[in-house]
Chains A and B, each alone.
Chain A
């Protein structure tokens, strides 16, 4: 099949101070080729100045979130047959564009760091020198949120984040969820303080954009809801009913 690409370009260094659209045509595209491969073909065959981030090309590293036909996705996880013969590609919204698809990720990562995204348990280690014990049922409470790859697809699909960049955003909340609901972690108090602050979890208006945006299938809005309950209660204990943990097939 042939593909016509409409790509949002921005490269002030090359003398154009405003973003603009540029069109490319690709012939002999296989329906199973990834959008990322098609972008590579444009870059390698037609215009080497096209800039985008990428690494693993199989949906695990989180480098290549972009807006494809109006929706956030990883370019390496969408195939030509999923998007059809006309593909429009732009950078994710809400973060400053530096060049073409490359945005300034620092504000996003600053929000991540804000929720203290690290395991805390300064209590004594097991006397036998072995692992802490945890039931599989307790571990399953964080299965979904440990899936996050920090690609920013959720946060940059969120109107509340677009309106107010100080909002920590869905990804940071999912990351906080991963620790709040880990039965081994003891760092709840400090994290709940951050999330209960004005730019914390209450900026979420339950718009649900984040959930379909997630390329990992995380139920982001649900995770935010559970964190809201934990903030309200001042504790994460007893909020998630293990019987409701999804089993994906």
Chain B
């Protein structure tokens, strides 16, 4: 097995990974980025509407207001020190992106243009504010391209189409990872002083999702299998406006520019659920409102979708009604929401300039994940103890700046702010730290699992198992949840997991680009991630943010204003029983509240 030595190993080449790679390399570290996709294929590129930062380029804005919105949006579960860092450093980070060449849209003064977005307000919830810095509706694409380009300029070493499949630990210290080179099927050992997981989310656990096929929870599953805890796994966000049937994302920027949600009666129903900011309430609120409308038979034609309307005549009518002077026209939409037009026309045969778009909630974003502190260092218990050499950032991480529900644009903010912090921290760490060698036979266990899958000849095909898991999770561990339903879903997923372990059958026995093998291995990651999601959700007997229980409808701050940590006690990499244990000892950091009572938990009204 070939071994590579680096100061820093970055796993994943989306926004967080590239930001970390860039800053670690600028700090003098010898950096390798290992990614199962070519970096520019990463899902950061699918982020559309904008990146939030209180630049105040159109109207007064302050990081404190961004903090308030984020804490409230997260239903008070977010760690407030992380939120402070997020909102304060967003300003700097966005300016730095501009200095790296990111082509933002501009105001008439030539400054970065900003638009409204869900849950973002001025003056502690008073009114919607223009905070989302944008490059048309392909902001994530531009962030990804810009960061990749700067990494190339900085001579970061890329290992494209190498898929990390195991973490290396030796003497209690992280010392790299094992990866498969997809083109040859060979295992490679990456030995590093610092390893940062930025592997993204796991939207493919659910049937209707905005996530790419590649978002299979690899990073979370790998760490779980190595005995490390995952935090707040019950909190998974359903974005309100997926394109009906496909789940492809229609940006919240559509509503930011004035678009409205309508039921079968043409009623702008969000006025009832969120009287102040209406369609721009936070995502959990809007997704639940959509489900409630559908339940009452107010779907379009009695069906299971609603309309999102951005036609100028509709938008301008509501703008006039609200006493606003702004008006939009078709040119404005074509310029600012080009991607939206393209997606609707291509996939739904709907021209948003002529008719409303059919939408339904779509599985979108993991608030939970690998627990870290604000320096992207991975922590292993409720006390915040750091695992030396291991870092994580981006969607797979849970620094908990999003709490129980993430605000729109804050994913991109999270990537650049905590990716950058991780990169800087790593640059300092590797200057002094020794290179711990990998354990003997580093790849033995994971190689055995791959040989099992490669040679499997059972009756259960991965495609069938995956589809059934996605269906169970969508039905039972989606927007609305109950103990009974979740129990049923969990049992079904556990049974599918048994079939995966005992009755799997794939076709391809080859080494070169064996995508059959890799998809099956990824299915194993999805199944483990689904199980810990359902277990965590069953345990939390309250409704908070994206976790909405029909049998526990209220938020319960007295008992549940805590993070959850779930870990596997199983010995061995892939075992019949996950032997999960859950604890709820990790307190929520409430440092902002300590200084300003406005950050204290209260009823969420939008």
Contact = CB atoms under 8 A, between A and B. Distances in A.
Interface in B354-408: none
Contact of A130 (B95, B341, B463): B95
A121 B145 contact: no
A54 to B, nearest CB: 6
Given A118-B149, A131-B112, A142-B103, A32 B330 contact: no
B146 A119 contact: yes
A142 B135 CA distance: 11
A47 B231 CA distance: 38
Contact of A32 (B45, B347, B514): B347
A13 B99 contact: no
A48 B508 contact: yes
A135 B37 CA distance: 35
Contacts of A57: 212-213, 248
Given A59-B346, A249-B334, A44 B212 contact: no
A83 interface: no
Contacts of A40: 463
A62 B40 contact: yes
A90 to B, nearest CB: 16
A13 B512 contact: yes
B539 to A, nearest CB: 33
A96 to B, nearest CB: 12
Interface string A112-150: 010001110100010001111111100100110011011
A228 interface: no
Contacts of A133: 106, 109-111
Contacts of B249: 58
A212 to B, nearest CB: 16
A132 B99 contact: yes
A134 B106 contact: yes
A48 B507 contact: yes
B101 A119 contact: yes
Interface string B485-519: 00000000000000000000011101111111000
The range of chain B's interface size is 35 or more
B101 A61 contact: no
B183 A118 contact: no
Contacts of B99: 121, 125, 131-132
B335 interface: yes
Contacts of B342: 59, 217
Given A117-B152, A119-B149, A60 B37 contact: no
Given A61-B212, A136-B105, A249-B334, A99 B152 contact: no
A108 B416 CA distance: 28
B109 A248 contact: no
B337 to A, nearest CB: 11
A206 interface: no
A129 B95 contact: yes
B150 interface: yes
A149 B39 CA distance: 11
A17 to B, nearest CB: 14
Contacts of B564: none
Interface string B72-105: 0000000000000000000000010011110111
Contacts of B37: 55, 61, 63
Interface string B316-329: 00000000000000
Given A44-B462, A59-B346, A135 B110 contact: yes
Interface stretch (B136-144, B469-477, B548-556): B136-144
A168 interface: no
Interface in B109-157: 109-113, 135-136, 138, 141-142, 145-146, 149-150, 152-153
A199 B442 CA distance: 46
A62 B146 CA distance: 16
A224 to B, nearest CB: 20
B451 to A, nearest CB: 16
A52 interface: yes
B214 interface: yes
A22 interface: no
A109 interface: yes
Main secondary structure of the interface of A (DSSP, over half): loop
B66 to A, nearest CB: 17
B507 A49 contact: yes
Contacts of A113: 152
Contact of B40 (A47, A48, A150): A150
Contacts of B40: 61-62, 149-150
A14 B514 CA distance: 11
A11 B138 CA distance: 37
Given A49-B507, A113-B152, A134-B110, A32 B105 contact: no
B510 A149 contact: no
Q: Which of A34, A118, A129 has the most CB of B within 10 A?
A: A118
Contacts of A49: 507-508, 510, 516
A48 B106 contact: no
Nearest to B99: A125
A184 interface: yes
A131 B95 contact: yes
Interface residues of A, number: 60
B255 interface: no
A13 B183 CA distance: 12
Contact of A119 (B38, B100, B463): B100
B139 to A, nearest CB: 11
A139 B106 contact: yes
A101 to B, nearest CB: 10
A135 B43 CA distance: 29
B146 A247 contact: no
A40 B339 CA distance: 25
B103 A182 contact: yes
Contacts of B343: 58-59
Contact of B105 (A43, A139, A248): A139
B470 to A, nearest CB: 13
Interface in A14-49: 14, 32, 34, 40, 43-45, 47-49
A99 B109 CA distance: 52
B516 A146 contact: no
A58 B103 contact: no
A114 B186 CA distance: 29
B43 A55 contact: yes
B331 A247 contact: yes
A246 B589 CA distance: 51
Contacts of B107: 136
A147 B339 CA distance: 10
B338 A182 contact: no
B213 A119 contact: no
A137 to B, nearest CB: 9
Contacts of A11: 510, 512
11 contacts: A32-B349, A44-B463, A55-B41, A55-B212, A58-B46, A61-B45, A63-B38, A99-B512, A130-B111, A146-B135, A249-B353
- The 8 lowest CB-CB distance pairs between A and B, nearest first, are A119-B101, A44-B463, A48-B507, A133-B110, A48-B516, A118-B149, A118-B153, A131-B98
Interface of A: 11, 13-14, 32, 34, 40, 43-45, 47-49, 51-52, 54-63, 77, 79, 98-99, 102, 105, 109, 113, 117-119, 121, 125, 129-136, 139, 142-143, 146-147, 149-150, 179, 182, 184-185, 217, 247-249
Given A45-B461, A136-B105, A182-B103, 8 more contacts: A44-B462, A56-B212, A57-B212, A58-B46, A136-B107, A143-B136, A248-B341, A249-B353
